[in-house]
Structure 1
Amino acid sequence: MKTLYLEPFSGLSGDMLNGLLIDLGGNVEDLKKELAKIPVAGYHLHVQRIAKSSIYGTDFDVHLAHGAKDHGIENDFSPTNQPAHLAHHHHEHDHNHAHARNLQDILAIIDKSSLTKTVKKHSRNVFLDIAQAEAAVHNKAVEEIHFHEVGAIDSIVDVLSFFILWEQLEISQVYSSYITEGSGTIEVAHGVMPVPVPAVMQLRKGTNLIIRQDFEIQTELVTPTGIAIFKEIQPIFRPLEGQEIEKVGYGFGKRETGKFNALRGSLLRQGPSKKEIHQTQDQILKIEANIDDQTPEQLGYVMEYLLSKGALDVFYIPIHMKKNRSGILLTLLCQPEQKDVFTKELFRQTSTIGVRYTSMARTVMQRTFGTKKTPYGAIQIKQNRYEEIEKNTLEFSECQRIAKENDLSIYQVYHDLEKYL
């Protein structure tokens, strides 16, 4: 499983998100094979690696058979400042109810496909979120919200493509910098509207999304599809610190903003627990600190943070300190050369004013990774070996993902998968 770091410094859209995942290694031919499983025709993918501002990335677009393109919701707040043939087509369909699909129609298309449960689940959630936002904006019931026929094709392919690529790349965790939105106003079917547009504002409701406006850009940068997909993958907002980058990609936007219009993303190198181990003997450093004035919530964050910085292990033991104070013994294991890095981090992240060190010899099993086919799909397992002793173990993150996607207990997942070790 992989970790993705997003940098939406020029907004979010379905095209940008799909282009990014392809630029990071998503396979277009496999994507097309998966999309063939949905009962929708009249389109083809246009995927091209191009340069903008002398930086190469991927341009992703859904081209419709009649050559026009629509943005999905009937009477929505899509801008009219687009090429004339697109704007004309959009106007024609604004009043053509015969060519519209409602939310249930789109969900039925998704459900009837033979795509994986994961792709179906996330795609359904995105369309439901968008429809609910549009319903609130227009003061209608969700059932009354209609997607244009061509717009539905475009939107369906955009959303399903993203989660097919997401599954291809085996992304399990996402972090992000703040989202940049444009400013000013745009002209839409209803007149002149402020940026962010009403649907995007409604999709932000009840979230802690960090969005900042660029007042030098007088147009929208964040689309409803883009923000809805972003919400569904649930990124954690934090800076890219102490992480080794494995690959960097760019997904391009269509607007000419006067600035570099792209979504940048990085695949982060997996932590030590994911690395293969071939030597059985090494030296490690144990760092300890006594803590008596931080909450469990704070220390939970500290543990996650230290592990993300490359600690081999972090654990806590309850202790009873002088003056009858209850406290926590924080123990961190790391490589000897990481001593100064983690000393500074412990002083910065905890209330301790002193740390202790012990150099230790360690014997570990050799570790490699393998894949097993199961009823829940292919899973990764750890293969551990020391001389003639062999142990195969399940990855907790894999079991956790399967439990969530199939609404099962973690105990049931382990019970079902142990036979495949």
Structure 2
Amino acid sequence: MRTLYFDCFSGISGDMVIGALIDAGGDPVHLETELKKLNMENEYELTFNKVVKNGITSTKFDVLLTSDAHDDGHSHNHGHSHDHEHNHNHGHSHDHDHGHDHGHNHSHEHSHDHGHGHNHSHEHSHDHGHHHHNHNHDHRSYKKIVELIQSAGYSNRVEGNALSIFKKIGQAEGKIHGVALEDVHFHEVGAVDSIIDIVGAAILLEQLQIDRIKSSAVPVGSGKIHIDHGIYPVPAPATLEILLGVPIAESQVKGELATPTGAAIVAVLAEAFCTLPAMKVQSIGYGAGTKTFPKHPNVLRVIIGEE
């Protein structure tokens, strides 16, 4: 049985998952080719770079949005240094770019006119090495995302996994905000970069011929974050809702270590949460976050082997 183990010692986000799967032997050319089936390639560019995090060479994956991804016609190639793509604001209209330091190590400064009359130049310090904070204001609905994935012609496995992960996030957002699943609009996680992360993870897991997924407990970080609705504790409400039933690990790191997308990937796909299972290890991959921590490498490790 070919097993993949998510070793989430520094948390998990969608882009860290992609980086780790590529690092473990996933094919980036295959990934890009398959993602074109979504007919969104004019909205983004993908980058894969080798970086060293506290002595560990890892793969940093980024989604760079192009101007076609935005109604306002402005190019927002953020570089997405969103350590975890902290999209806790997906189900609602969080323009968390009002000069708030969201405690998330967003390390990119951009000024864009949302068409809302706010020309906010802000620097997010989004705390966790996971790139994409998507300021896409196309606000794709849950229904539209389902249609997008279903019309792409993926295998049953890829389509099923991607839809299940989005449903997990949509249900959490709907519960938090008191709206039905079909009425949820993904202001953040539904944007281009998160669609890429979720569908991309499903594509790579199939390409790597993974039969079973297991995971460590998930550290979520600590402290507080500042978003449009005010000051919230870590984990953000949607992330915590997604992790209902999943073992959470204690962490002294200030900031968010798990994002809704990363949390949903592991919550939906892992059949067990445990220590590293007995296996013959065949490949190892490290997916980098953006932020650098003083005492440990900010990476997600995946271990693939025969159980």
What TM-score, normalized to structure 1?
0.58
Match of 2:102 in 1: 80
| C-alpha distance in 2 between matches for 1:229 and 1:204 | 10
Name the amino acid aligned to 2:191. Answer: A
Name the amino acid aligned to 1:133. Answer: A
Match of 2:127 in 1: none
- Equivalent of 2:149, from 74, 95, 110? 110
The one-character-per-residue Cα deviations of 1:20-65 (angstroms, maximum 9, x if unpaired) are 1101100000111101111213101111122111211111111101
Name the amino acid aligned to 2:234. Answer: V
- 8 Å CA contact 1:106, 1:152 repeated in 2: no
Matched, 1:260 2:261: no
| Residues 266/140 of structure 1: CA separation in 2 closer, same or farther (3 Å cut) | same
- 8 Å CA contact 1:181, 1:222 repeated in 2: yes
Matched, 1:239 2:257: no
- 8 Å CA contact 1:93, 1:148 repeated in 2: no
The one-character-per-residue Cα deviations of 1:210-258 (angstroms, maximum 9, x if unpaired) are 112212x110100000011111212312222543322221011123443
SS of 2:160's equivalent?
helix
- 8 Å CA contact 2:168, 2:268 repeated in 1: no
The one-character-per-residue Cα deviations of 1:89-118 (angstroms, maximum 9, x if unpaired) are 789599x99722110011111111122121
| C-alpha distance in 2 between matches for 1:87 and 1:223 | 24
Within 5 Å, which residues of 2 pair with 1:329-368?
A: none
Matched, 1:46 2:28: no
| Residues 39/204 of structure 1: CA separation in 2 closer, same or farther (3 Å cut) | same
| Residues 36/132 of structure 1: CA separation in 2 closer, same or farther (3 Å cut) | same
Matched, 1:61 2:62: yes
| C-alpha distance in 2 between matches for 1:56 and 1:177 | 21
Match of 1:162 in 2: 201
Say which structure is richer in helix.
1
SS of 1:99's equivalent?
coil
| C-alpha distance in 1 between matches for 2:199 and 2:117 | 23
Name the amino acid aligned to 1:99. Answer: D
Within 5 Å, which residues of 2 pair with 1:255-294?
A: 255-258=291-294, 259-268=296-305, 270=306
| C-alpha distance in 1 between matches for 2:137 and 2:220 | 34
| % identical equivalent positions | 35
| Residues 160/128 of structure 1: CA separation in 2 closer, same or farther (3 Å cut) | same
Match of 1:402 in 2: none
SS of 2:157's equivalent?
helix
Shift in Å at residue 148 of structure 1?
3.3
Shift in Å at residue 177 of structure 1?
2.1
Looking at CA atoms only, which structure, 1 or 2, has the larger radius of gyration?
1
| C-alpha distance in 2 between matches for 1:121 and 1:197 | 26
| Residues 262/150 of structure 1: CA separation in 2 closer, same or farther (3 Å cut) | closer
| C-alpha distance in 1 between matches for 2:94 and 2:260 | 10
What TM-score, normalized to structure 2?
0.78
Where do 5+ consecutive residues of structure 1 fail to align? 272-421
- 8 Å CA contact 1:76, 1:134 repeated in 2: no
Name the amino acid aligned to 2:198. Answer: V
Name the amino acid aligned to 1:75. Answer: S
Matched, 1:146 2:189: no
| C-alpha distance in 2 between matches for 1:18 and 1:122 | 15
- 8 Å CA contact 1:93, 1:99 repeated in 2: no
Say which structure is richer in strand.
1
Match of 1:343 in 2: none
| C-alpha distance in 2 between matches for 1:77 and 1:266 | 37
Matched, 1:18 2:54: no
SS of 2:37's equivalent?
coil
| Residues 202/90 of structure 1: CA separation in 2 closer, same or farther (3 Å cut) | farther
Shift in Å at residue 88 of structure 1?
5.6
Shift in Å at residue 4 of structure 1?
1.1
Shift in Å at residue 143 of structure 1?
2.8
Within 5 Å, which residues of 2 pair with 1:211-230?
A: 211-215=248-252, 217-230=253-266
Matched, 1:124 2:142: no
Shift in Å at residue 165 of structure 1?
0.3
| Residues 51/220 of structure 1: CA separation in 2 closer, same or farther (3 Å cut) | same
- 8 Å CA contact 2:142, 2:190 repeated in 1: no
Alignment root-mean-square deviation, CA: 2.7
Shift in Å at residue 187 of structure 1?
1.1
SS of 2:222's equivalent?
coil
Name the amino acid aligned to 1:223. Answer: T
- 8 Å CA contact 2:285, 2:302 repeated in 1: yes
- Equivalent of 1:176, from 215, 218, 223? 215
| C-alpha distance in 2 between matches for 1:6 and 1:133 | 22
Match of 2:227 in 1: 188
